Amino acid sequence: MTEFSQIRAAVIGTGFIGTVHVQALRRLGVQVAGVLGSSEARGIERAAEIGVGYAYASLDALLADDSVDVVHVASPNHAHFPQVMALLDAGKHVICEKPLAMTSAESAQMVTKAKASGKICAVCYNIRFYPLNQQAHGMVAAGDLGRIHFVTGHYHQDWLAKLTDWNWRLQADKGGALRSVGDIGTHWVDLTSFVTGLKAKSVFADLTTFLPERQRPTGPVETFSSAQGATETVPIDTDDSSAIIIRYSGGAKGVMTTSQINVGRKNSLIWDVAGSTASAAWDSETPDHLFIGRRDGPNEVLMRDFTLMNPAGTRAATLPPGHVEGFADSFFNFFRAVYVDVCSGTRGADSTWATFEDGHYEMLFCDAVVKSSREQRWVDLGEH
Amino acid sequence: MTEFSQIRAAVIGTGFIGTVHVQALRRLGVQVAGVLGSSEARGIERAAEIGVGYAYASLDALLADDSVDVVHVASPNHAHFPQVMALLDAGKHVICEKPLAMTSAESAQMVTKAKASGKICAVCYNIRFYPLNQQAHGMVAAGDLGRIHFVTGHYHQDWLAKLTDWNWRLQADKGGALRSVGDIGTHWVDLTSFVTGLKAKSVFADLTTFLPERQRPTGPVETFSSAQGATETVPIDTDDSSAIIIRYSGGAKGVMTTSQINVGRKNSLIWDVAGSTASAAWDSETPDHLFIGRRDGPNEVLMRDFTLMNPAGTRAATLPPGHVEGFADSFFNFFRAVYVDVCSGTRGADSTWATFEDGHYEMLFCDAVVKSSREQRWVDLGEH
Amino acid sequence: MTEFSQIRAAVIGTGFIGTVHVQALRRLGVQVAGVLGSSEARGIERAAEIGVGYAYASLDALLADDSVDVVHVASPNHAHFPQVMALLDAGKHVICEKPLAMTSAESAQMVTKAKASGKICAVCYNIRFYPLNQQAHGMVAAGDLGRIHFVTGHYHQDWLAKLTDWNWRLQADKGGALRSVGDIGTHWVDLTSFVTGLKAKSVFADLTTFLPERQRPTGPVETFSSAQGATETVPIDTDDSSAIIIRYSGGAKGVMTTSQINVGRKNSLIWDVAGSTASAAWDSETPDHLFIGRRDGPNEVLMRDFTLMNPAGTRAATLPPGHVEGFADSFFNFFRAVYVDVCSGTRGADSTWATFEDGHYEMLFCDAVVKSSREQRWVDLGEH
Amino acid sequence: MTEFSQIRAAVIGTGFIGTVHVQALRRLGVQVAGVLGSSEARGIERAAEIGVGYAYASLDALLADDSVDVVHVASPNHAHFPQVMALLDAGKHVICEKPLAMTSAESAQMVTKAKASGKICAVCYNIRFYPLNQQAHGMVAAGDLGRIHFVTGHYHQDWLAKLTDWNWRLQADKGGALRSVGDIGTHWVDLTSFVTGLKAKSVFADLTTFLPERQRPTGPVETFSSAQGATETVPIDTDDSSAIIIRYSGGAKGVMTTSQINVGRKNSLIWDVAGSTASAAWDSETPDHLFIGRRDGPNEVLMRDFTLMNPAGTRAATLPPGHVEGFADSFFNFFRAVYVDVCSGTRGADSTWATFEDGHYEMLFCDAVVKSSREQRWVDLGEH
């Protein structure tokens, strides 16, 4: 990792997830040149709080900083497209939070520009980088589960369960037409696609808004914090929950539910992949355990352990067995993999981080979900 | 329970589940007058093995035995309708295994005859009688979870995962058009309907047969045992798995998957009910634990404990806290509740066992599932 | 199991555990000739409640009933010795609840008489008969864990955690000098000895009474039910908890704790056996799962499954995989094994139920525990 | 956290745990001035690998670097004493890995010097800083569990289970007389003392060496990595496992086992604290879940969640609920707390990091353990 200390990165977005990026970069030994906040004042305030030495006054100022090699885009969803396009024009490597864009038209342009740029362009599907998800990816690729049949699971949270819970993601113009699907469901879709190697051919979706009116605070609200003080009633039409049935190319099937109103589920992503000879399952709330299901022997629970894992799993692991790796470590593992490629200037043959193509696939998936739910029918990805 | 020893019961079906019935009856202190096997010889052989003193030569012989008060129908699915109709004609109380019939036309007739008969007519949705499912039913009824929003879960097994696994349920003419949905999915549908008090208004279903050809042994095979010796290839068109989205009356939504090919999942029924103020979840493989999800305090895990449970839960519980109640106990608890009503001659005000109406509802549900999967659209229950 | 219906059994004791015996016998198809209560009136009342046709007026009446082959002794501990001695004199087979006696002097006499009698003499260490404990016993015997090194675990409950909790076991003259060790610790000692094949050579024990005064109700109290009404303060000197270090013959070590005041632990028996090449662990609150620990591959969780188990495990299992077997099933499995030997008249070569020798070993163990705790030193079993 | 970027730290030791320190410091935004390796060459090599810009040539060089405010001591145990004494003489704040020293005579001197120095002197009991351990500490302090009665648990690993596993800790002259107790048991002792507020008055210990001979490789070996190539047989007399019974001041009791040969247990620290009104338990392999045991309501499982935690717990938490915090985060949380005090120059009123007094207590505990196991009797802490 020697060269990491030679790389300079900047981070756009200073909220919860932007801070996670900054800390992971510093842990890796990458230089954090500065942050860009939602306003200059906000940027300065947050830079001080996070302990970053510099806050850019504007995107232009950041674009103009030639000392910056890599820019992390952790702004609200609607800003991803213009920011990333400008960053690529400015010759930066880009690591963009998901979803990549607000529409698949945008993400298609981003893919094209990324390809033309020759830069490292990654999307923050960090969950791939819990080492046991890498392990599962390697297992499927090696045929350890046989032919993949049935992929099930969910991503359930409860932080928007109350009428008074508020976040910018609730509003379609800020977060996109899809909320639970866009914000968390896409993690599940990316992760299962990564693990199984399968892409959805068509989807049937049913979106539900259980709370069609919510109380919006008049002041600003941090993600994962509670509204206080005066509120006003606003109509909400983004999805509190979803049910999505997936037909994969090749005959496999998938079923996912998402919810942000399942009381008691803080951040529960579960996937379960049933193959013809074995199955595997993983739960984000106990990420250092991988279930392996068998018919001709006992089921197994693999604790993350570099002495027992395949190359993909071992490469991503940081700590010794039993010393739990969590959410922050997934960013550390993810960025480490991306920055190795930043150092070499090109995506490695073994690299498993999500590309802009992967991010675009998610947008096509989301388009199909919206259309399917509106028209109550199966919709192909990319259908016009 | 004094009077139980005065009641005489007979059991049709001497396979795995018929044996479970016999043992539960004896444990309750009900007299088991005899069993009826698939043939007279088979009945005699199994009666000896189970330790029942008598095997009826035929259904007619059983119908003619006026000393028998209650008959348990644990024969293959296709026999339920004619046997139950004849038993009601003969004035017997009936406890019928699920599914109640092969078609909703049959089950509708059974409901009518049951009502006319004035007899106790129960369907074997035994899973209701794990005490914590009764507890959850009582909790929802008392408003402990608020308004019910989202019901999710699955029923996954692996005993038909291999090409060489064989059972009469694989063939539509023996087990009905639906397999995974009919055999296990209906348990989930009944259980969640019981817990939440909600009925499905319409369904969208997607059925899949991952193994369209299987190896059938030429000799007979017991449920849950393995085929040996010579086999022949037969086409299979019943569902290895299903995905079903449910719209309940009143606005709640549900999503269930079923599978009999999920390697490593022996008998995994999970339901998760998210209400507006709390949630609850239960897993059949650890049935003495009930998850209760909260937003304003820690989540809870209620171990079955009569000192902590509501009246519905306490009534069904048999053993002290921590002394696990399992599958056989669910039958014990279920039959105890039914036989209390047999003793009194009528269904009690607090009774929670599944009626023929409940069994008929399942048939309507299954009809809608078949139609929805074929026509790839939302189908209302009872739609013509 | 045909012959079981030819055997007549009687049960002494009509409380919680006596009822469990009666139900398991009936489930097996054994005839229950009658019960003997703590008084004639009590016996009649409970017989009616349990649905048993007959209540003996006295022990003498039971002894005189030549139609009875087997007698189950489920009376309070202090009655075991005189009752069992009389039953053996009367030529009955005996299945006695644990602990076998109040002192090792008593149990030594019982062993001698049992041997002389030629009768089946079993002690109710039912927990051996959770099928996965039989499986573990078979695994160790086959060398699957290598050489056994370290045996740890506990038996913790909370039903005597409050000052107002009351039971006859609290008083040394009714339950014996040891309480938590005698009532539940002996289960752990028997079980781990059964699983590992090891016997304790010496022990170091530390007993603690955290609640030296309790409130005793003036009226009678059922086990596992709560005191109500008037109470009086009484001093208590039996053990609320214990810590016991064990030196096994051959060099292995063991450590067990017991507690009846660990709030929230309803009936938590955990054992963990570390061998030189693998380990195994089991938890009574999820008894259908066996942990198998490995160094050169993933850990395993074996769900009870007759297709995957060794002969010892399979012999004890009753239900298909995933259909949980619980506490009542352990008695069913246990009695089935004993009654097979009752039918043949002698203990089978493969039999694994606890003998009076096993019960006597527990008494020697308890003697050493009492002595060690009093004298604060290592004490050998059988030391004088 | 602004001022963290003004602080300069150095790290002695560049193995697994030294690297963890460096990464946590960088994540916090503290400047890492350099590292000191076991040799100058080793330090240079590791600095490059970790991405630290500088490697000190010697301890003297580090002592002479006046720009360094804080030094982390992550060298082998035997080096702690001389290094820390020199560092305090040089006016550095010190954060020392556990155990603080090789003997209590050393640690007593370190306490004295620490006090005289007025510097921040912390011991790396990082496990306190899993947020739910802070939560439990706050709960006990607030009386949420009532009076503490019984403290049980273990710390079991398997990385020294094989004859060919090798580490410097196996040899008493490198790691100290105690191995499993010194290396991991002290974590349990510190953690439970921290949670309960109780100190041991006396102990009874039994230490066991199951593998009295092991294979030592002739070349160097990293912690948690496997030996390869040529080996030689060496006698081992440090403890593979221990059983320790504790009498706390005030009447509570404790029982701990340690093991480094429990196959399948990678890093399993479990504590269980039973109070008079509630209990709590925690497992290091699922550190974001805290069990809370109750008698008058369901048991609870608190997931780390700053909206539900007490001030102690909330202060230590970094990430939103459900985004798992792991081992690396415990160091981040720990160092954050220490560096806040480094910034202010003195230990805060609410600070909960372990002091040199805490580290010395552990040494007294270990002394008593060694003496007790040798003399086979209860030994008071500080006894002469």
Question: Contact B15/B223 with Cβ under 8 angstroms?
Answer: yes
pLDDT of residue C177: 86
Helix, strand or coil for residue C364? Answer: helix
Rg (CA), chain A: 20
Helix, strand or coil for residue B168? Answer: helix
Which residues are paired to C283 by β-bridges? C270
Which chains border B (3 or more CB–CB pairs < 8 Å)?
A, C, D
Nearest neighbour of A285 by CB, restricted to D266, D307, D322:
D322
pLDDT of residue D315: 94
CA D244: distance to chain centroid?
18
Chain D residue whose CA is closest to C150: D262
| Measured distance CA(D179)–CA(D76) in Å, rounded | 13
Closest CA to C241 of D291, D149, D146: D149
Chain B residue whose CA is closest to D302: B298
Query: Structure tokens of B41?
Result: 């010889």
CB atoms within 10 A of CB C347: 18
Q: Answer yes or no: do C293 and D150 touch at CB < 8 A.
A: no
Chain D residue whose CA is closest to C162: D276
pLDDT of residue A295: 97
Average pLDDT score over residue span D173-179: 84
Select from C132, C299, C310 the residue whose CB has the most chain A CBs within 10 Å, as the one to mutate to test that interface: C299
Average pLDDT score over residue span B64-72: 98
* pLDDT above 90 coverage of chain C, percent: 90
Chain B residue whose CA is closest to C24: B27
Closest CA to D153 of C154, A273, B24: C154
Chain D residues in contact with A266 (beta carbon < 8 A): 303, 305, 320-322
How, if at all, do strands D241-248 and D200-208 pair?
A: antiparallel
Question: Contact C241/C179 with Cβ under 8 angstroms?
Answer: no
> Distance (Å) from the C-alpha of residue A311 to the closest C-alpha of chain C?
15
Nearest neighbour of B149 by CB, restricted to A150, A261, A377:
A261
Which chains border C (3 or more CB–CB pairs < 8 Å)?
A, B, D
pLDDT of residue D118: 96
Complex prediction ipTM = 0.95
Buried/exposed code over D354-365 (b: 16+ C-beta within 10 A; e: otherwise): bbbbbbbbbbbb
The DSSP symbol for B78 reads G
- Identify the burial level of B174 via C-beta atoms within 10 angstroms of its C-beta, where 0-12 means exposed, 13-18 middle and 19 or more buried: middle
| Measured distance CA(C118)–CA(A219) in Å, rounded | 86
Mean pLDDT for all residues in chain D = 95
CA A38 → CA A11, A48, B291, distances in Å? 12, 15, 41
Phi, psi for D134 (deg, rounded to 5): -65, -40
CB atoms within 10 A of CB A148: 24
Angle made by CA atoms A291, A293, A296, in degrees to the nearest 5? 145
pLDDT at C361 over 70: yes
Query: Structure tokens of C216?
Result: 């005793």
Q: HSE, CB side, 13 Å, CA atoms: give it for residue C148.
A: 28
Residue contacts between C and D (CB atoms, under 8 Å): 130
pLDDT of residue D223: 63
Q: Answer yes or no: do B303 and D299 touch at CB < 8 A.
A: yes
| Measured distance CA(C373)–CA(C367) in Å, rounded | 10
| Measured distance CA(B138)–CA(C108) in Å, rounded | 52
Question: Contact C29/C53 with Cβ under 8 angstroms?
Answer: no
pLDDT at B53 over 60: yes
Q: Answer yes or no: do D204 and C208 touch at CB < 8 A.
A: no
Chain D residue whose CA is closest to C205: D245
Helix, strand or coil for residue A229? Answer: coil
Query: Structure tokens of D345?
Result: 């120059």
Q: H-helix or E-strand containing C301?
A: strand C299-303
Question: Contact D33/D25 with Cβ under 8 angstroms?
Answer: no
Select from D140, D149, D188, D300 the residue whose CB has the most chain C CBs within 10 Å, as the one to mutate to test that interface: D149
For every residue of C261-303, DSSP letters joined together read --TT-SSEEEEEEEESS-EEEEETTSTTEEEEE-SSS-EEEEE
| Tens-digit pLDDT profile for residues C118-146 | 999 999 999 999 999 999 999 999 999 99
Beta strands in chain A (DSSP E): 8-12, 31-36, 55-56, 70-73, 93-96, 121-123, 148-156, 200-208, 213-217, 231-235, 241-248, 253-259, 268-275, 279-283, 289-293, 299-303, 379-380
Chain C residues in contact with A290 (beta carbon < 8 A): 298
CB atoms within 10 A of CB B4: 20
Q: Residues with Cβ < 8 Å from B118, sequence gap 6 or more?
A: none
The DSSP symbol for B287 reads T
> Distance (Å) from the C-alpha of residue A196 to the closest C-alpha of chain D?
24
Average pLDDT score over residue span B193-207: 98
pLDDT of residue D205: 98
Helix, strand or coil for residue C154? Answer: strand
Chain D residues in contact with C293 (beta carbon < 8 A): 158, 262-265
| Measured distance CA(B376)–CA(B204) in Å, rounded | 7
Cis peptide before C298 (omega within 30 of 0): no
Query: Considering only A313-317, D20-24, D25-29, D228-232, which range has the smallest mean pLDDT?
Result: D228-232
Nearest neighbour of D262 by CB, restricted to C210, C243, C274:
C274
> Distance (Å) from the C-alpha of residue C274 to the closest C-alpha of chain B?
25
Chain D residues in contact with B292 (beta carbon < 8 A): 298
Chain B residues in contact with C4 (beta carbon < 8 A): 51
> Distance (Å) from the C-alpha of residue B323 to the closest C-alpha of chain C?
5
CB atoms within 10 A of CB B319: 21
Cis peptide before B217 (omega within 30 of 0): no
Rg (CA), chain D: 20
Average pLDDT score over residue span C196-225: 89
Q: Answer yes or no: do C324 and B326 touch at CB < 8 A.
A: yes
Which chains border D (3 or more CB–CB pairs < 8 Å)?
A, B, C
The DSSP symbol for C185 reads I
Average pLDDT score over residue span C186-208: 98
Chain A residue whose CA is closest to D301: A264
pLDDT of residue B173: 83
Nearest neighbour of A245 by CB, restricted to B243, B253, B278:
B243
Question: Contact A267/A135 with Cβ under 8 angstroms?
Answer: no
Chain D residue whose CA is closest to C300: D264
Q: Answer yes or no: do C325 and B322 touch at CB < 8 A.
A: no
> Distance (Å) from the C-alpha of residue C202 to the closest C-alpha of chain B?
31
How, if at all, do strands C299-303 and C379-380 pair?
A: unpaired
Closest CA to A132 of A308, A251, A289, A14: A289
pLDDT of residue C175: 74
Q: Answer yes or no: do D266 and A159 touch at CB < 8 A.
A: no
Read off the amino acid at residue C258. T
Buried/exposed code over B323-348 (b: 16+ C-beta within 10 A; e: otherwise): bbbbbbbbbbbbbbbbbbbbbeeebe
pLDDT of residue D176: 80
Query: Considering only B132-136, C77-81, D243-247, which range has the smallest mean pLDDT?
Result: C77-81
The DSSP symbol for A320 reads P
pLDDT of residue C105: 95
| pLDDT level of residue C168 (50, 70, 90 thresholds) | confident
Q: Answer yes or no: do C300 and A297 touch at CB < 8 A.
A: yes
Question: Contact C196/C252 with Cβ under 8 angstroms?
Answer: yes
The DSSP symbol for B322 reads T
Where do runs of H (alpha helix) occur along C258-355?
311-316, 327-344
Nearest neighbour of C149 by CB, restricted to D210, D253, D378:
D210
CA C381 → CA A115, C152, C371, D249, distances in Å? 78, 19, 10, 31
pLDDT of residue B177: 86
| pLDDT level of residue D267 (50, 70, 90 thresholds) | very high
Average pLDDT score over residue span C152-164: 97
Which residues are paired to C274 by β-bridges? C150, C279
> Distance (Å) from the C-alpha of residue C355 to the closest C-alpha of chain D?
30
Q: Answer yes or no: do B293 and A262 touch at CB < 8 A.
A: yes
Chain D residues in contact with C245 (beta carbon < 8 A): 204, 206, 243, 245
Mean pLDDT for all residues in chain B = 95
How, if at all, do strands D70-73 and D31-36 pair?
A: unpaired
| Measured distance CA(B287)–CA(B136) in Å, rounded | 12
Angle made by CA atoms B226, B229, B235, in degrees to the nearest 5? 75
> Distance (Å) from the C-alpha of residue D280 to the closest C-alpha of chain B?
13
| Measured distance CA(B305)–CA(D294) in Å, rounded | 12
The torsion angle over the Cα atoms of residues A309, A310, A313 and A315, rounded to 10 degrees, is 110
| Measured distance CA(D166)–CA(D183) in Å, rounded | 15
| Tens-digit pLDDT profile for residues D198-227 | 999 999 999 999 999 999 988 766 665 655
Q: Answer yes or no: do D324 and A320 touch at CB < 8 A.
A: no
| Measured distance CA(B226)–CA(B230) in Å, rounded | 12
Nearest neighbour of C204 by CB, restricted to D204, D253, D291:
D204
Select from B299, B309, B310 the residue whose CB has the most chain D CBs within 10 Å, as the one to mutate to test that interface: B299
CA D236: distance to chain centroid?
24
Read off the amino acid at residue B13. G
Would you give per-residue pLDDT tens digits along chain A (384 residues)? 448 989 999 999 999 999 999 999 999 999 999 999 999 999 999 999 999 999 999 999 999 999 999 999 999 989 999 999 999 999 999 999 999 999 999 999 999 999 999 999 999 999 999 999 999 999 999 999 999 999 999 999 999 999 999 998 898 887 788 999 999 999 999 999 999 999 999 999 999 999 999 999 987 666 656 556 789 999 999 999 999 999 999 999 999 999 999 999 999 999 999 999 999 999 999 999 999 999 999 999 999 999 999 999 999 998 999 999 999 999 999 999 999 999 999 999 999 999 999 999 999 999 999 999 999 999 999 987
Helix, strand or coil for residue C193? Answer: helix
How, if at all, do strands D241-248 and B241-248 pair?
A: unpaired
Helix, strand or coil for residue D231? Answer: strand
Question: Contact A316/A129 with Cβ under 8 angstroms?
Answer: yes
Phi, psi for B207 (deg, rounded to 5): -100, 145
